[in-house]
Amino acid sequence: MRFLITGGAGFLGSALSNRLAQAGHEVRVIDDLSTGDTARLIPEVLFTRGDVTDIPKLWTLLQDIDCVYHLAARVSVPQSILYPREYNAVNVGGTVSVMEAMRDAGVKRVVFTSSGAVYGHQARQPVHEDLPPNPDSPYAVSKLAAEYYVRTIGTLWGIETVSLRVFNAYGPGQSIPASHAPVIPRFLKQALGGGSLVIFGDGRQTRDFVYIDDVTDALVAAATAAGVDRLVINVGSGRETSINELAATIGRVIGRSIEPLYMTGESPGVAQLCADLSLAREKLGYRPKVSLEEGLRLTLERDPQFSQRARSRSPSP
């Protein structure tokens, strides 16, 4: 098959691009490199630098494409609070541009990566797709709006659509920005540096941490799955993990006791979040394989930013 992957040089996009290219598919990537890095991509991936609002460039790349994976997005919740207009322009406007270019090029299937953040605060866990969304940040609003655009105009234009609500993905290659870094790479960096793990709030808030290979499995399945048109489907581990439990697990993985440092002043986000995977199992045959502890070990082994530090901390024989 021939695929176009927007945001294909990012953390998740590069894992998907490489997986498909290694399987013998033709993979074209467009990425503006605002957070992506071409060093993540294997040579078989055909890379173009560009913006998802550039419809003429998209149209050119979409010729003879069988399926689009639309992953390009701004993804920082705190930044979205500061710059909601930018998040709306890229996450919503960029999605509409991709759909318009697909219509004009005659491409008939798109897999859109949404986010578990659209659920926001929910009284029941795990969350399933029939629950009313309750977004609590401009980022989450932009992802939900993009979901609606994909489904609505896809129906009007005869494009098959499926939106995957990805929960807290982690694994090798995840960047650590100077501010508001994702919790797992931030904790690993702090732990390997010999410091405390900084926890905002009391650490009892929970998340659904899912290893990148499991997310990629779901994305690959969604390209050819039957009976998924217009659906939104959760992709997570199906396991609820508190931040305190995450900190303890990292301590076990690196082999030392780590003292958490609890901080106030920054919101820890929603109190609970865990994915119900019933629909993913039914429609995608999705069954996550990697436990949190195994995923953390694989991240330490496979990610150069951690593996060298981890080896340096290991006792000499």
Q: Please tell me the distance from the alpha carbon of residue 300 to that of residue 191, in angstroms, as a whole number.
A: 11
Q: Please tell me the distance from the alpha carbon of residue 115 to that of residue 10, in angstroms, as a whole number.
A: 16
Q: Please tell me the distance from the alpha carbon of residue 192 to that of residue 290, in angstroms, as a whole number.
A: 22
- The two structure tokens encoding residue 253: 């993985």
Task: Reduce the secondary structure of the chain to three states and give it as a string.
Answer: CEEEEECCCCHHHHHHHHHHHHCCCEEEEEECCCCCCHHHCCCCCEEEECCCCCHHHHHHHCCCCCEEEECCCCCCHHHHHHCHHHHHHHHHHHHHHHHHHHHHHCCCEEEEEEEHHHHCCCCCCCECCCCCCCCCCHHHHHHHHHHHHHHHHHHHHCCEEEEEEECEEECCCCCCCCCCCCHHHHHHHHHHCCCCEEEECCCCCEECEEEHHHHHHHHHHHCCCCCCCCEEEEECCCCCEEHHHHHHHHHHHHCCCCCEEEECCCCCCCCCCCECCHHHHHHHCCCCCCCHHHHHHHHHHHCHHHHHHHHHHCCCC
Which residues are the active-site residues? 139
Q: Please tell me the distance from the alpha carbon of residue 111 to that of residue 109, in angstroms, as a whole number.
A: 7
